[in-house]
Structure 1
Amino acid sequence: MLVSKKAQGHLIALFTIFIWGTTYISTKVLLAEFKPIEILFFRFMLGYFTLWILAPHFLSWQGIRKELLFMAAGFCGVTCYFLCENIALTYTTASNVGVIASLAPVFTAILAMFFLKAETPSLRFYIGCLLAVFGVVLISFNGKFVLSLNPLGDFLAVVACLFWAGYSILTKKSSSFDCNIILLTRRFFFYGLILMLPALYLFNFEWGLVRFYKPVNMLNILFLGVGASAICFVSWNYAVKLVGAVKISIYIYLVPIITIISAVIILKEPFNLIAAVGTLLTLSGVVLSQGKRSKKQ
C-alpha cells in the first residue's frame, strides 16, 4: 500500500525532529571548548558543503524577488533563530527558553493566517497547542516550578520563536517555486552564512581548528553539520512542502521529549513523574492538533 504524500510528510517531520531533539547532547559537549557562535558557524558551513556533495549542481539566479525571499529565509532560519536562541541561553535559563520555544507553532499559525491564506487552523489545533505548551512547561522545569524572569534573555527567546515562524512561512512560499529542495536549502544556508559574518566579529569568533583533532569534537560537529543541519533542514523543508507550515510546526513540541529521553540514556539525567506527565500531555496535544483543519480557507 502506497503512503500518501501527506503521510510521507508527517513521517519525514518525525525523523527530523528525532535528530533535532538529540542535538542538545552534541551542543552541550561542544560548549566545553567552543563558543555558541563558533558551533553555529562550523555546523552550517559543514552543512553547506555537505549539500554541495549531495547535489553538485548550481542553482541559477532566480530573479531579485525570489532571491530576496531566499535571503530572508536564510536570515530568519539560519542566522537569527540560532543566534537569538544561543544568546538567550547566556542571559536566561534553559527551562525558560524551552517553554518560550514551544510558542513557535502558535506564532507560525498566526503568521500563516496573514501570509498563507490556504492554511487556516481549526480550534482543535489551538487546543492541542495549549495542551502541548503545558506539557512542555512540565518537561522543561522537570518538577521544579521556579520561573526566573530575565527580561533580555526571555525577550530574545521570543524573538527566536518569531524568526522560526517566519522561516516556516518563507520555506512554504519558496517551495511553490519549481526548485530542487536540496539546492533551495543550500541557497538558504549560503545567505544565512553571509549574513552571519558580522556576528563572527561581534562575538570574537576563533577558528581554532586544532580542537577538531579530538574525536569527540569532530564526531559531534559532524552530527550537527551533516545530520542536524544539511539532511534535517532539507527533510524539514520537504515536509513543509508536502503538509504545510502550520501542521508541521506542531512537531516542534516533540523536541523536549526526545531531548529528555536522550539525556536520560546518554547523560544519565533523572526522569521523574512530572516529566512523564508532561511527555504524555505533549504527545496528546500533538495528536489532537493534527485533526482536520477548519474548512474556512
Structure 2
Amino acid sequence: MELKSSHIWLMVIASTFFWGSNFNAGHAVAADVTPLTAAAERFAIALVLFWAIRFFFGAAESQLSKRDAFILVPLGVIGVFGFNYAFFTALHTTSALNAALIMALSPLVSTLLSVLLLNVKIRLYQYIGMLIAFIGVTFVITGGHFSMLHTAIGDLWMLLACGVWSLYSVGSKKFAPHIPPLQFARWTVSIGAIALIIAAIVIEQPFNAIGQLSLQTHSILMYMGVCGSVLAYIYWLRGVFFLGPEKSAIAFNLVPVFTLLVSLAFGSIPNAVQVLGMLLVLAGVLTSSGWKPKALTNA
C-alpha cells in the first residue's frame, strides 16, 4: 500500500509531538521517581515493544558481525543510557521548555561533531545559524541575567544530554551506516535499556519504589516508552525514508514548539526571555540547515 505524502508528514509531525511532549512528561514525574528508575521503566517498556514488533511484523534483516557488537554496545550505552540519565536528571531542576530548547541545539552540535568525525565542511551560513542558536540558548539558560550567569544545574545536565545524543547520532553514521536504521535503533535501545535496568537495580534498588508509584506516574512512563520511544522513532524513520533527511530535519524544529504548547495547555506560561530564546534557537537552526521560504527559493 502506497502512503500519501500527507500521511508521511503526519507521521513526522506526530514523532516531533511525541518527542516534544516527552519533556513535559519527564518533568511531570521528576518529583516522584529517581532518574535511573524512571529511565529504566521507560526503556523496559520500549525494549519489549521493539522486540515484539520484530517477531510479529519484522522482515529479514542484515546479519550482524562480531565487529558490529563493538559498535552497538558503546553507542547504546552513550545514546540511550547516557542520554536518558542526563535527561531525567536535568528535569529535576529545569523546566520542560528550557530542556527542549537546549535539546534543539542537537542538529548544530551534530554538525560540529561531523566536522571532527566525518570530515564534513561547514559553510558560512551554518556558522551564522550556530551563533544565532547559541545566543538563543544563552538567553534560555541565563534567563537574560548575563552578569549574574543564573544557570540551573538542570540546564547543564541537558547540555550534556544534547552532547551525548549528538555523539550517538554522528557515531551511527560513522560506524554503523551498513545497519538498517530500525535494526540499529532496536539493538541500541535494547543495550541501553539493559544498562539502565542493571544500574537502577545496583544503585537505586527500585523495586519497592516502583511498587509505590501512582498509576498516573506509571501511565506517564508508559506514554514515554510507547509513544516517545517506539512510535516516535518508527514514524521518524518512515519520514526520513520517504521525504529525505533534509525535509525531515526541518520538522525537528517543531519539538520545542510542541513542548511550549503542552506547557501552555497545562497552565505553565513561559516568560518573555524564554519566548525570545525559542525564536532565536529556531531561527538559528533553520539558518544553519540552509532552509529558505519557498517564495524566496523561487525568486
TM-score range with shorter-chain normalisation? Answer: 0.7 to 0.9
Matches within 5 A, 1:248-267: 254-266=254-266
**1:35 correspondence with 2:37:** no
Give the corresponding residue for 1:170. 171
Cα gap change, 1:59 to 1:79, in 2 (>3 Å): farther
Contact 1:96–1:147 at 8 Å: present in 2 too?
Answer: no
Contact 1:22–1:262 at 8 Å: present in 2 too?
Answer: yes
Cα gap change, 1:73 to 1:158, in 2 (>3 Å): same
Contact 2:129–2:285 at 8 Å: present in 1 too?
Answer: yes
CA distance in 2, matches of 1:65, 1:262: 43
Cα gap change, 1:270 to 1:140, in 2 (>3 Å): farther
Give the corresponding residue for 1:194. 194
Q: TM-score, normalised by structure 2?
A: 0.75
Give the corresponding residue for 1:18. 17
Instruction: Please tell me the root mean square deviation across aligned C-alpha atoms, in Å.
Output: 3.8
Contact 1:128–1:286 at 8 Å: present in 2 too?
Answer: yes
CA distance in 2, matches of 1:277, 1:3: 36
CA distance in 2, matches of 1:230, 1:175: 20
Letter in 1 for 2:125: R
Give the corresponding residue for 1:69. 71
Cα gap change, 1:178 to 1:101, in 2 (>3 Å): closer
CA distance in 2, matches of 1:3, 1:113: 36
Flag structure 2 segments of 5+ consecutive residues without an equivalent: 292-299
Contact 2:71–2:176 at 8 Å: present in 1 too?
Answer: no
Contact 1:135–1:277 at 8 Å: present in 2 too?
Answer: yes
Cα gap change, 1:25 to 1:155, in 2 (>3 Å): closer
Letter in 2 for 1:184: F
Contact 1:104–1:162 at 8 Å: present in 2 too?
Answer: yes
Contact 2:30–2:88 at 8 Å: present in 1 too?
Answer: no
CA distance in 2, matches of 1:154, 1:138: 12
User: Structure 2 residue aligned with 1:86, among 79, 88, 95?
Assistant: 88
User: Which secondary structure does the structure 1 equivalent of 2:150 belong to?
Assistant: coil
Deviation at 1:23, TM superposition (A): 1.2
Cα gap change, 1:52 to 1:40, in 2 (>3 Å): same
Contact 1:139–1:257 at 8 Å: present in 2 too?
Answer: no
Contact 1:139–1:278 at 8 Å: present in 2 too?
Answer: yes
Letter in 1 for 2:184: L
CA distance in 2, matches of 1:32, 1:265: 20
CA distance in 1, matches of 2:269, 2:156: 29
Deviation at 1:63, TM superposition (A): 0.8
Cα gap change, 1:276 to 1:155, in 2 (>3 Å): closer
Q: Quote the sequence identity (%).
A: 25
Contact 1:13–1:236 at 8 Å: present in 2 too?
Answer: yes
Cα gap change, 1:178 to 1:88, in 2 (>3 Å): closer
**1:220 correspondence with 2:220:** yes
Q: TM-score, normalised by structure 1?
A: 0.75
**1:271 correspondence with 2:273:** no
Contact 1:37–1:83 at 8 Å: present in 2 too?
Answer: yes
Contact 2:37–2:204 at 8 Å: present in 1 too?
Answer: no
CA distance in 1, matches of 2:130, 2:273: 19
CA distance in 2, matches of 1:154, 1:135: 13
**1:110 correspondence with 2:112:** yes
Deviation at 1:283, TM superposition (A): 2.8
Contact 1:132–1:283 at 8 Å: present in 2 too?
Answer: yes
Flag structure 1 segments of 5+ consecutive residues without an equivalent: 293-297
Give the corresponding residue for 2:295. none
Aligned length, in residue pairs: 282
CA distance in 2, matches of 1:223, 1:19: 9
